[in-house]
Structure 1
Amino acid sequence: MGTGRTSKVVGLVWGLLILNTLGSAGAKTIVPLPRSLIQMATMGALVAAFALALAVNVRLRVRPSAYLLLLTLLLVPSVLASAHLESGFGALFRCARLALFVGTLWLLSRWWDGGETFVRHHIRTYFVVLGSVAAGLAVSPGAAMPELYGGRLVGALWPLTPPQIGQYAAVIIGLTVLLLVGRRTGGRSAALVIVPSLVLLALTHTRTATLGLLVGLVVAVGSLVLTSGAARRFFTGAVVITVVVAVGFAPLVQAWFLRGQSQENFTSLTGRAKVWDALLAAPRSTTEHLFGAGLGDKSFAGLPIDNSWLAVYHEQGMTGVVLVGAFLVVLGAVALLRPPSLGRACALFLITYCAIASYTEAGLGDASPYLLHLAVAASLLATPAATPADRLPQPLGPSQPLGLSRPPLDTERR
């Protein structure tokens, strides 16, 4: 298979992995979609992704990755706990899904060379997802901003919740800003992604995504200020704009942040704290404490856990918590030890975002967008491929369009 065709297949595989992690539960769509049909589509996407990845990597060449190794080890407590069937046969199904997900990442690791290829795949695919959200908003504003969700933006064509949309928007905004600061894309192409994504993020009223975006960019751009004039100018401009907005539009910012909630509801993190307290107070056997109750739907007593660490503790035990903490620490340590570069900045943004989101969102212990964000970070921190055959096509210059309609693949760091 030619290099150009291989690069397209790799991009398609990444898109299918993202489709698999979109989920099947959310708001009511304009055209009712049976949950079974959505689950068939998402699982079919994962099977197709694995098959295509295997087709372009028949010799099973993989790159060493501490992140993927620890993620593979996470399967051990998942299977051990799920084998007891306390969470039903669905737990074993989720284990199989996680194994296939991790296996596909291993097959793709052959092309992890420290370049920006997977960053661009990430941006393009999530931009398409957000495009479907914008289309749903244009077709039926009432269905896209229902009263059930307090008037927050949801997916009207595909059942996406406000936190999901906010997460996707925040991640591609941050990555695109960094590509712009690093002069890897032009202003027009960047604006095409950033401006509509900011609008969608604002309409979701998602505080976690907004905080993750802001803190992640501070960390990422801060890692470049000593070596990049563009980063220093961006950092200074961002500080000035933040101060102006905070002072001049304080009431509006406060109203957006509170979302009309009472003080009690806000301090309990929209009721999350009550679920967390009940989960920690529940009696557990030694086996459950070490390995959890098996992979489930990230809920406790019928209520969402909405915390990655507690969800992992509940489903994979303390063993899972240690492994998840280990791959976050390893990725962070490797990023901090690397010399300043755009790839390092993008990796720091993704790691920081996932760490912040883990407090109010679940997903670090199972196939999810968060594991894909961290996989992109791992690809950016990988050492360049030794053999030219393993590298995807190189860019022609330092500033490239994001290629939303016709995606060129840029992997060379300048």
Structure 2
Amino acid sequence: MGGDPMRGGLPGGPDTADTRPGAEQRPAGTPKAVWIVWALLGLNTLGSAGAKTIVTLPRSLIQMATMGALVSAFALALMLNLRLRIRASAFVFLLTLLLVPSVISSVNLEVGFGALFRCARLALFIGTLWLLSRWWDGSLRFVRYHIRMYFAALGSVAAGLAISPGTAMPEYYGGRLVGALWPLTPPQIGQYSAVIIGLTVLLLLGRQTTGAGAAMIIVPTFVLLAMTHTRTAMLGLLIGLALAIGSLVLTSAAARRFFAWAVLCATVAAVAFASALQAWFMRGQSKENFSNLTGRAKVWDALLAEPRTIQEKVFGVGLGDKSFGGLPIDNSWLAVYNEQGLLGVALVAAILIVLGGVALLRPPSLPRACAIFLISYVAISSYTEAGLGDASPYLLHLALAASLLAAPAGATPLTTPAVPRRRIPRWDRNREVI
């Protein structure tokens, strides 16, 4: 594709290197095909079940495309890393351990042969992350990959809305925006939108993109997010950004200004548009329906009341479709408990604790802020969305956070001549310039 808005270029124009002070440089030896591998992983996690599309796509065909994308991602990553050079990663190691309860519970075939297929899919997903870990160096390169990938997915949503508004906003979803070309649900679209907006705002604050480039992404993406009426995504975006920007306020004047203006605008909007915001948030639901989380609480209570053997409590019943009694679980912790047992819950908790702990111990920086946003968003979404125990966008978000928290490669040369170091006062040597 032509110019990259995230680098401040114009669509259709030539790609040029960002030569501004503090701009990210691409380490020599990093293949451009790594971006393709990341995009294929994203395609695999789009899912095969969702809304009705303009042209009916057989689920088997979609599954073939998504699984083919994962196999291709693994094969391409292996070609790029034939010497199997990997970096130590507590995140990927814990994910690998998560395979243990997944396989132990799935071999019983309690949920059918599909459980073993999902185990193989999760193993390929984790294997690809191990191969990609070679290029995890704490830079923002994978952030740009992430934004491009999900912005392309949202482009298909916008195209479907333009072609067939009735199909893109069906009545059976309460008029919420869905994917009319690819079967994406409102929560999926809301998730991609929130992550894109949050990361782009942080790149703007870190002067890694221009205001015009950021606006080209944030404005249309926010419109799509509002049309999905996804409360979890909106709350995750606001809370995640607040925590991420809060980690920068002591070292970034831009972050302090943005935070102050955001609080002021939020206060004014809350007063001036209180009724409209309440209507958007309630989505026409009754207070009773809202209090039981659109019926989720009933499924959760039934799942917890289900009699289980000791083995099922420890290892779960096997990887399934994240449903119970034919209804979606819509909670990552209960879905993991159902499919991978208490051992799986402990490992998923360890993943979030380790990533969060490492992020808190890192000095203030833009990569750290992006990681805090992603970890916070995933933690908030885990209450009403499933996916932390299987190959999913949520694990891909956490993988991006792990890449941002990785220590920089010590001897990685740059593609541009080194800039002479300026003398930094002793009191300011621990402060990272964004």
1:95 aligns with 2:98: no
| Residue number in structure 1 paired with 2:374 | 350
1:372 aligns with 2:396: yes
What residue identity is the alignment partner of 1:246?
A: A
1:127 aligns with 2:151: yes
Per the normalisation by structure 1, the TM-score is: 0.94
Alignment map for 1:101-116 (pairs within 5 Å): 101-116=125-140
| Residue number in structure 1 paired with 2:21 | none
1:177 aligns with 2:205: no
Find the partner of 2:181 among 157, 163, 172.
Answer: 157
Cα distance, 1:394 vs structure 2: 7.2
Find the partner of 2:251 among 218, 222, 227.
Answer: 227
Find the partner of 2:235 among 211, 214, 226.
Answer: 211
Alignment map for 1:238-257 (pairs within 5 Å): 238-257=262-281
What residue identity is the alignment partner of 2:155?
A: G
Going from structure 1 to structure 2, the CA distance change for 1:83 and 1:108 (only over 3 Å counts) comes to same
Cα distance, 1:385 vs structure 2: 1.2
Q: Distance in 2 between matches of 1:106 and 1:124?
A: 22
Q: Which deviations, in whole Å up to 9, do the C-alpha atoms of 1:64-120 show, x marking residues without a partner?
A: 100000000000000000000001000000000000000000000000000001100
Going from structure 1 to structure 2, the CA distance change for 1:258 and 1:26 (only over 3 Å counts) comes to same
- Check the 8 A contact 1:6/1:56 in 2, yes or no: no
Find the partner of 1:137 among 144, 151, 161.
Answer: 161
Alignment map for 1:15-414 (pairs within 5 Å): 15-388=39-412
Cα distance, 1:314 vs structure 2: 0.1
Aligned-CA RMSD value: 1.8
Going from structure 1 to structure 2, the CA distance change for 1:375 and 1:200 (only over 3 Å counts) comes to same
- Check the 8 A contact 1:144/1:155 in 2, yes or no: yes
- Check the 8 A contact 1:289/1:317 in 2, yes or no: yes
Overall identity of the aligned pairs, in %: 74
Q: Distance in 2 between matches of 1:395 and 1:346?
A: 27
Per the alignment, in what secondary structure is the counterpart of residue 31 of structure 2? helix
Q: Distance in 1 between matches of 2:87 and 2:208?
A: 25
Q: Distance in 1 between matches of 2:112 and 2:76?
A: 31
Cα distance, 1:386 vs structure 2: 2.7
Per the normalisation by structure 2, the TM-score is: 0.89
Q: Distance in 1 between matches of 2:104 and 2:182?
A: 34
- Check the 8 A contact 2:169/2:175 in 1, yes or no: yes
Q: Distance in 2 between matches of 1:119 and 1:61?
A: 22
| Residue number in structure 2 paired with 1:404 | none
* Runs of 5+ unmatched residues, structure 2: 1-25, 420-431
Per the alignment, in what secondary structure is the counterpart of residue 225 of structure 2? helix
What residue identity is the alignment partner of 1:351?
A: I
* Runs of 5+ unmatched residues, structure 1: 398-411
- Check the 8 A contact 1:115/1:413 in 2, yes or no: no
Cα distance, 1:8 vs structure 2: 1.9
Point out the structure with max Rg over C-alpha.
Answer: 2
Cα distance, 1:7 vs structure 2: 2.9
Cα distance, 1:34 vs structure 2: 0.3
Q: Which deviations, in whole Å up to 9, do the C-alpha atoms of 1:290-345 show, x marking residues without a partner?
A: 00000000000000000000000000000000000001000000000111000100
Cα distance, 1:239 vs structure 2: 0.3
Per the alignment, in what secondary structure is the counterpart of residue 335 of structure 2? helix
- Check the 8 A contact 2:233/2:381 in 1, yes or no: yes
Per the alignment, in what secondary structure is the counterpart of residue 7 of structure 1? coil
Per the alignment, in what secondary structure is the counterpart of residue 108 of structure 2? coil
Going from structure 1 to structure 2, the CA distance change for 1:370 and 1:395 (only over 3 Å counts) comes to farther
- Check the 8 A contact 2:70/2:124 in 1, yes or no: yes
- Check the 8 A contact 2:28/2:412 in 1, yes or no: no
Q: Distance in 2 between matches of 1:309 and 1:236?
A: 35
Going from structure 1 to structure 2, the CA distance change for 1:165 and 1:394 (only over 3 Å counts) comes to farther
| Residue number in structure 2 paired with 1:403 | none
Cα distance, 1:3 vs structure 2: 7.9
- Check the 8 A contact 2:31/2:80 in 1, yes or no: no
